[in-house]
Structure 1
Amino acid sequence: MNAILYFKRYWQMYALLFLPVLYFAIFKYGPMYGIIIAFKDFNFFQGINGSEWIGLDAFREVFAMPDFTKTLRNTLMLNLLDLMVSFPAPLILAVMLYELKITWFKKISQTILYIPHFISWVIIGGIVYQVFGTQSGMINNIVTSMGFDAIPFLTDKNDWLFTYLIVGVWQSAGWGTIIYLAALTGINRELFEAADVDGAGRFRKIWSITLPSLKPTIVTLLIISLGNMIAIGFERPYIIGNTSVRDYSDVLSTFVYRVGIESGQYTIATVVGLFQAVVGLVFVLGANYASKKLADQSIL
């Protein structure tokens, strides 16, 4: 009876929740039925139910592909390097912005840092080629005008890797600072006032007050990032990459597009997608468990 009265009192809240739940049911949980394709010799004309059941044969085929091993290695390598380079960048920027006292300069800096997040990767790809191109890039035009050899930012594997990471930091760091700045606004200002009384300098206050206050946020974002170690966006490696650097730029998402979608091997594409999902879940649960044991912070 109490539940009925409670529902009558707050039915508007449940009504507002109806559309989000319906969205997830249709577009998130509904497509999970397609996972069955990974265990069938999928024929587009016969449909999922009419296709022949092959069990784990497609998984064995995928795991035996040399290209799969290479793309898996590249995915882990690029995500690990991204984690090392791109993960600390928003934290550092957020702390620097938080310490700024000139309001107008702080607002302008935030706007400039946020803008790259809203730019399409197609446009960013054009910017990258205009800036880092070997023949007509802005940087190489300056380098060659000074009498030096052009730097193969986009054609040498190691130089391309550096370019890939730098572009990633530029595109994502500003947006990531929003989360940290939101967390920083919740810090009790009396802690800083007490530190001033004790004679603590700016760096001591950052180390002893600001960073410890951000610990829950840092741990949460780190767990999420570790969960995405096996997943990687399609646009960035596909647009910036090329045949000269395919040994590094060919990742699981481009492998699915090339082998699964372009070649019409939907079973292969589904197998790789399911593999990424399962391994990503293991990474999230493992990182969450380790964080709970070591830092007493978790998201589950």
Structure 2
Amino acid sequence: MNDGMPGAYHTGQTYPSVYTFGRKLVEQAQSDGADVVIFTTPHPNTNFMTDSMWVTPGTSSYPSNPPIPADNKAGSTVQYVNADGTSVPASYRHVRVNESLRRLAADTGAILLDAEKYWFKAVAKYGLGALFDTNEYAHPNLLGHQQSYWLAIDEFVNSLNTASLAAAPKPVPYSPLVTYRVDATTRTSSTTLAADSQLGVDVGANQVWEVEIGAYYTGTTGDLRIGLALPSGASGRLGVTGFATNATGVESGPSTHRSVALPDTYGLPVGGNDADAFALARGIVRVGSTSGSIKPQWSQDTSSSSATTIYRDSYFKATRIA
């Protein structure tokens, strides 16, 4: 639970080193005949974790290799969506650390006890305030431990049908990551795609991701194009459903259902019509040998001094599938 906190995180000690050092540690223990058990961790109390506590740009130094950017995203709260549809706040840093721990367990054959999935359910059920003692923001209280670590241990123990730890359950599927705009943004007099500064996800080399973009927007003159910024060497396909660019109303007019191969610099156009609109884009991204970020991109479809506005609560959801 300390591994996503500022000092260790920004010196590279916990991310990405949680994987590289962890792998050496696991493989050494396994070579000595040990069965290794890896836990994911609960998250801190994000109600108290402001940007200043996360260390924002200009207030920390970082190693030159690899660089760990201290941008607002690294100090932000994202939304995790439980299987039952409930949405809870999550620390972006701890999501990344836990993702590395899951990959470590999968790559080494270690046993994974996924406390994080139970933590998110507990946050939805009890609220963050009930899971921490007063003035504590990093370490859960007894209830927090019972509703995360204890339940993960119970799940593992109940799955055993032999005396060997080799009977542990397989690692759980990857969790979706969701970011959303906290305010509106505009595109004016430009048909060049530009990445959204508030939406996106960092991805590793050779991973495969399913992505979804939900755009709430209006642009009666310039319309809208939607695209994806990808790491170098990434490929895939993106499709969109929405109003066609010649639509003239909310309940009438043509719609568009089309896709494009990635990478793509033009984007998928959708119409602004004469009222607030919504477009949904979904796709698959196959990351090559270069890690980086996947980010939604916006531009106008027709250059116009009348702004196209992408509204607050437009969102980007990404789920790793391989």
> TM-score per shorter chain, which class?
under 0.3
More helix by share: 1
| Higher relative contact order (CA closer than 8 Å, sequence separation 6+) | 1
Query: TM-score by structure 2 length?
Result: 0.25
Query: TM-score by structure 1 length?
Result: 0.26
